[in-house]
Structure 1
Amino acid sequence: MPVLPLGSDQRRAAGASMAVIVLTAPVRVVEYALNGSVNRVADLILAAGAIVGAQIGTCLLSKVSNTRLR
C-alpha cells in the first residue's frame, strides 16, 4: 500500500493495509469455496493465527516508535 510516500506514518500504513485485507479476503474465500478449493482445517488454523497475530501486532504497534518501525 503506497501511503508512506504520501507523508503518512507507519501506523497509518499498517492500518490501511489491514483494511484492504479485511475488505478483499472474504471475496477470495467465497471464490475459492465455490471452486471447491477450500481446506477447512487449514483455513481455521490460519484464521486463528491471523486473529491472534493481529491482536499482538496491534498492541506492539502502539508501543514502538515510528523511527524504529521504519
Structure 2
Amino acid sequence: MTSVIVGAKRIDQLDDNIAAAQVMLSDDELAELDRVSQLPPEYPGWMLERQGGNRRKQLEAQRC
C-alpha cells in the first residue's frame, strides 16, 4: 500500500506532484520494486515454514 503526501509550496512543485500520478511502470520495474522492498520473514511465519518442510515433503511423496 502506498500513499502520497502533497507538500507543494509552489505551483511548479504541485505540477510535478500531479504529473507523478501519470507515471506507468513496466512489469519488470514493478517486479524489481517488489524484490527490493520485500520485508524479511516474521515470526511465526518463518518458523512454520521451517518446521513444516519435512511434512510437506512427506505429503508430496504420497501424491506421487
Q: What TM bracket, shorter-length normalisation? A: 0.3 to 0.5
- TM-score by length of structure 2 reads 0.32
Would you tell me which structure has more helix in proportion to its own residues? 1
TM-score normalized with structure 1 length: 0.30
Tell me which of the two structures has the higher relative contact order, counting C-alpha pairs closer than 8 angstroms and 6 or more residues apart: 1
